[in-house]
C-alpha cells in the first residue's frame, strides 16, 4: 500500500506532529510505502495565481481554470505543483493531517488543494465523484480539535462534526473520485492529559492497520441524480 500524508501543522512537537510520526512508523513497519508533504516545513506557497504555471494561455486576463486546462495539455505546471500531483497519482491512500481551524482546513492546506487540484488534470470533462480521476483510491481526514466531542454532536454548540467536514470529505475528496473513509478525530488534545493522548495514538494505530478493510462513507452516486437539474431522483 502506498500512503501519501499531507501534513499541515507549523509545530513539529504538536500532537498533529505525533500523529504523523505515528502513521509513518506504523505503516512502514507493516511493509507500506509512505510519502509525507510537511507543508510548513516545505514552506509551501499557498497562493494560487500565475505562479502555478510556467506558461500563459492568456497573458492579459487570468482565468484560472483555462490556464489549468492549458497547463494540463502542454505539461506546464510549476515544479512545486507538479511534484505534489505526482504524489497524488502515486498513492493508494491519501491522509490529510491537520488541526481543525475555524471549522475548516488551515490556510496552507486549503491553498495546497487550490493549487494542486487543477482542472483538466484532477477534475473536469465529466471527471467527478464516482467518475473521478482518483476512482479506486481512498482518502481520510486525521484531525485534532480544540473542543470536546459533545460540542460537535448534532445538538452540540458547534454543530455536527460530520456536517462541518462535509465540504472537505465530499466537496474536495469525493469530488475528485476518492472513496472517503470516516475521519480519525483526536478531541480536545490541548485539554486532555498525556494518558488520553497516548490512547489517541493507540486508537490511530489500529485505524491505520485497518485502512484497507474500513468501509468508506456512503454518498449518493451520479446515477442517483437527474443530471439536468442535479437533483436526487425520487424513488
pLDDT digits (tens, 9 = 90+) for 166-195: 999 999 999 999 999 999 999 999 999 999
Which distant-in-sequence residues (6+ apart) come within 8 Å of 181 by Cβ? 138, 139, 140, 211, 214, 216, 217
Q: Is pLDDT above 90 for 83?
A: yes
The domain in which residue 190 lies consists of 2-232
CB atoms within 10 A of CB 182: 15
Distance between CA atoms of residues 4 and 40, nearest Å:
16
Counted domains in the chain: 1
Give the pLDDT band of residue 234 (cuts 50, 70, 90).
confident
- pLDDT tens-digit series, residues 6-16: 999 999 999 99
Average pLDDT, rounded, for the chain: 97
Q: What pLDDT does 139 receive?
A: 98
Q: What pLDDT does 224 receive?
A: 95
Average pLDDT over residues 157-174: 97
Q: Is pLDDT above 80 for 36?
A: yes
We report the CATH number of the domain holding residue 173 as 3.40.50.360
Amino acid at each position: 500500500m502506498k500512503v501519501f500524508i499531507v501534513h499541515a501543522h507549523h509545530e513539529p512537537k504538536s500532537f498533529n506532529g505525533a500523529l504523523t510520526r505515528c502513521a509513518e512508523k506504523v505503516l512502514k513497519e507493516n511493509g507500506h510505502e509512505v510519502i509525507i508533504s510537511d507543508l510548513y516545513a516545505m514552506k509551501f506557497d499557498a497562493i494560487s495565481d500565475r505562479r502555478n504555471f510556467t506558461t500563459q494561455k492568456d497573458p492579459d486576463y487570468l482565468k484560472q481554470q483555462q490556464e489549468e486546462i492549458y497547463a494540463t495539455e502542454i505539461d506546464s505546471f510549476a515544479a512545486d505543483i507538479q511534484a505534489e500531483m505526482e504524489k497524488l497519482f502515486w498513492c493508494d491512500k491519501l491522509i490529510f493531517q491537520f488541526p481543525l481551524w475555524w471549522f475548516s482546513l488551515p490556510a496552507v492546506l486549503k491553498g495546497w488543494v487550490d493549487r494542486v487540484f487543477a482542472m483538466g488534470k484532477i477534475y473536469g470533462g465529466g471527471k467527478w465523484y464516482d467518475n473521478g480521476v482518483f476512482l479506486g483510491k481512498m482518502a481520510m481526514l486525521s484531525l485534532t480539535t480544540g473542543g470536546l466531542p459533545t460540542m460537535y454532536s448534532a445538538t452540540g454548540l458547534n454543530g455536527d462534526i460530520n456536517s462541518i467536514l462535509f465540504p472537505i470529505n465530499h466537496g474536495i475528496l469525493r469530488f475528485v473520485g476518492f472513496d472517503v473513509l470516516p475521519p480519525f478525530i483526536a478531541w480536545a488534545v490541548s485539554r486532555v492529559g498525556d494518558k488520553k493522548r497516548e490512547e489517541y495514538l493507540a486508537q490511530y494505530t489500529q485505524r491505520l492497520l485497518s485502512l484497507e478493510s474500513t468501509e468508506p462513507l456512503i454518498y449518493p452516486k451520479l446515477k442517483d441524480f437527474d443530471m439536468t437539474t442535479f437533483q436526487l431522483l425520487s424513488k
